[in-house]
Amino acid sequence: EAGVAQSPRYKIIEKRQSVAFWCNPISGHATLYWYQQILGQGPKLLIQFQNNGVVDDSQLPKDRFSAERLKGVDSTLKIQPAKLEDSAVYLCASSGPGTGSNQPQHFGDGTRLSIL
Amino acid sequence: AQSVSQHNHHVILSEAASLELGCNYSYGGTVNLFWYVQYPGQHLQLLLKYFSGDPLVKGIKGFEAEFIKSKFSFNLRKPSVQWSDTAEYFCAVSPFGNEKLTFGTGTRLTIIP
């Protein structure tokens, strides 16, 4: 099966600029996740969608980060304005077709964001 | 909230050596446990998982892990490593019935041919 697709693979921007990442989950997967992985750390969940509804966004810095999953398929994550500490790899994952913790998460290759 | 500790940041082994990577978690309830692997240049992949039942679980590529509830541990093992096992290994936990994964900081494994 085709995996989770993410774009772009790399992005370099200056602080205070805005940036957007795109994710296309595995076909039929109801749940979509965005993670932030800072160098030397494990992935940290930013937001979880089930279909097009938000399940958990408790760790999303809502003053600058936003995410949407229109039509319950593709998703975009936006940062506006970016700060130096946002330099990280942004991972998208999906699970399904059902829900529940017994559905393993499948990860994309990630977008490596560098803030100058 | 749950947390995960991986005490080994970088492990270097020779081929055919035995491997054990430590993972301890902190959570007051029932958990699901996972090991993910990230090979150089590739995405995170599920290595094995524990939900319930036999605390010794077997995964892909000869890896296994043992859940010891009394020690809040889920250590990863492999009896004989290969050069192709060079990768970063992440332990993760989710509360039972909840999909939210909390990852450890990862262990970088380097296998010397």
Residue A64: DSSP 8-state: T
Q: What residues of B are in contact with residue A100 (Cβ under 8 Å)? A: 97, 99
Query: Which residue range is the domain that position A29 belongs to?
Result: 5-97+106-115
pLDDT (average), residues A17-42: 95
How confident is residue B28, by pLDDT bands cut at 50, 70 and 90?
Answer: confident
Is B59 at the interface with chain A, CB within 8 A? no
Q: Which of A55-59, B6-10, B93-97 comes out lowest in average pLDDT?
A: B93-97
Q: How far is A61 from chain B (nearest CA, A)?
A: 17
Q: What CATH number is given to the structural domain containing B9?
A: 2.60.40.10
- Tell me how far CA of residue A85 lies from CA of A37, A81, A89, in angstroms: 11, 12, 12
How confident is residue A116, by pLDDT bands cut at 50, 70 and 90?
Answer: very high
Find the CB nearest A42 among B99, B100, B106: B106
Q: What residues of A are in contact with residue B49 (Cβ under 8 Å)? A: 104
Residue A59: predicted pLDDT: 94
The rounded percent of chain A whose pLDDT value lies above 70 is 97
| Distant-in-sequence, close-in-space partners of B19: CB < 8 Å, separation ≥ 6 | B11, B13, B76, B77, B78, B79, B81, B85, B109
B103, A42: Cβ pair inside 8 Å? yes
Is B90 at the interface with chain A, CB within 8 A? yes
Sign (positive or negative) of CA dihedral A44, A50, A56, A57: positive
Q: What residues of A are in contact with residue B103 (Cβ under 8 Å)? A: 42-44
pLDDT (average), residues B14-20: 97
What tokens appear for B75 in the block?
């250590």
Total of domains in chain A: 1
Query: Which residue range is the domain that position B91 belongs to?
Result: 3-112
Q: Is the pLDDT of residue B58 over 70?
A: yes
Return d(Cα A49, Cα A81) in angstroms, integer: 23
The rounded percent of chain B whose pLDDT value lies above 90 is 86
Longest dimension (CA), chain B: 42
Find the CB nearest B100 among A56, A108, A110: A56
Residue A1: predicted pLDDT: 66
For residue A108, the chain B residue with the least C-alpha distance is B43
Instruction: For A36-47, write each residue's pLDDT tens digit.
Output: 999 989 999 999
The rounded percent of chain A whose pLDDT value lies above 90 is 84
Q: What CATH number is given to the structural domain containing A54?
A: 2.60.40.10
Examine residue A97 and say whether the peptide bond preceding it is cis (omega within 30 degrees of 0): yes
Residue A104: predicted pLDDT: 86
Total of domains in chain B: 1
Return d(Cα A24, Cα A56) in angstroms, integer: 19
Looking at every residue in chain B, the average pLDDT score rounds to: 94
How confident is residue A101, by pLDDT bands cut at 50, 70 and 90?
Answer: low
- pLDDT higher for A40 or A60? A60
